[in-house]
Amino acid sequence: MYSEPPSSKHRPTLQNPGSGEGRSEPVYISDDTGYALSHFLLPSHYQLDLERVLIPAGFILDRIEKLAHDIKTFYGDQDLHVLCILKGSRGFFNHLLSYLNKIHMYGRPYATSPPYMEHYVRLRSYVGTDSSGQLEVIAEDLSILKNKHVLIVEDIIDTGNTLTKFCDYLRAIGPKSIGIASLLEKRTDKSNGFRGDFVGFSCPDAFVVGFSLDYNEMFRDLEHLCIINDQAKQRYSSKRR
């Protein structure tokens, strides 16, 4: 169903989204990793809400640069359609594309086409009375992705349920391949086994925020990835924001 990207160096194909087949493993952030809040400059409006800094922003940027390099090595000069899953992926997506731009400018000075075409999607999962759940996809007309190499850009793979459903949705459009880039992958018992292809970090089973990831729309403006405390979960428990 999918054709193999010809420049594939470190893996055979992206035929099976969610398998993570042949991927390079993410950076492992152990369960006890973390940095004292006092070591970083943090927004004062969150001073009562955070437990610890999990991954400082500088480290995240270094890792995204390497992911951009891996992605470029994998896809080469083939047309690539990158798909941002809003809102949480905004930070990852923006930095990833910025690195791809630089690789393209420095490494392909005579290129005649842009490094990617970009698309934006908002996904909502509804868990109904049955366990199947429904996925709402808010997007431009995605039929343009037929016969294209598509790279989904996600902030975090947690249970994997939303991405599993979205990959089924995309597959029906008939892209040439579906790859998954995710900044984070959570080590959780609730995982359905879904694995990304280009993953930044494997992180502990805690609620992480910052770098555009939210808790009920809060913390997107926090630059470092942090773990929130129980008080913050109570304080921002309302979804209406």
Strands 80-86, 225-228: parallel, antiparallel or unpaired by DSSP?
Answer: unpaired
Interface positions, 36-95, toward Mg ion (CB under 5 A) = 88
CB of 152 or CB of 208, closer to ligand HPA: 208
Residue 156 contact among ligand HPA, Mg ion, none, beta carbon within 5 to 8 Å by kind: ligand HPA
Per-residue binder mask for ligand HPA (CB under 6 A), 125-144, x = binder? --------------------
Could you give the CA distance from residue 218 to residue 228 in angstroms, rounded to a whole number? 11
Could you give the CA distance from residue 37 to residue 187 in angstroms, rounded to a whole number? 23
Is residue 70 part of the annotated active site? The answer reads: no
- Sole window of 46-54, 102-110, 115-123, 208-216 interacting with ligand HPA (rule: CB under 6 A): 208-216
Among 187, 207, 218, 235, binds ligand HPA (CB under 6 A): 207
Asked whether position 120 contacts ligand HPA by CB under 6 A, the answer is no
Cα dihedral sign for 168, 173, 174, 175? negative
The 3-class secondary structure across 86-115, one letter per residue, is ECCCHHHHHHHHHHHHHHHHHHCCCCCCCC
Interface positions, 96-115, toward ligand HPA (CB under 6 A) = none
Report which residue type is found at 181.
Answer: A
Report which residue type is found at 175.
Answer: P
- Sole window of 48-56, 113-121, 124-132, 206-214 interacting with ligand HPA (rule: CB under 6 A): 206-214
Strands 117-126, 225-228: parallel, antiparallel or unpaired by DSSP?
Answer: unpaired
Residue 208 contact among Mg ion, ligand HPA, none, beta carbon within 5 to 8 Å by kind: ligand HPA
Tally: H helices and E strands in the chain: 4, 10
Q: Which of 49, 155, 158, 197 is catalytic?
A: 158
Which two tokens mark 173? 């459009």
Question: Which H helix or E strand runs over 227?
Answer: strand 225-228
Asked whether position 17 contacts Mg ion by CB under 5 A, the answer is no
The partner residues of 121 in beta bridges, in order of sequence, read 85, 139
Per-residue binder mask for Mg ion (CB under 5 A), 118-157, x = binder? ----------------------------------------
Asked whether position 213 contacts ligand HPA by CB under 6 A, the answer is yes
Which two tokens mark 51? 């437990």
Asked whether position 158 contacts ligand HPA by CB under 6 A, the answer is yes
Q: Give residues in contact with Mg ion (CB under 5 A).
A: 88, 214
Q: Give residues in contact with ligand HPA (CB under 6 A).
A: 88, 156, 158, 207-209, 213
Annotated catalytic sites, by residue?
A: 158
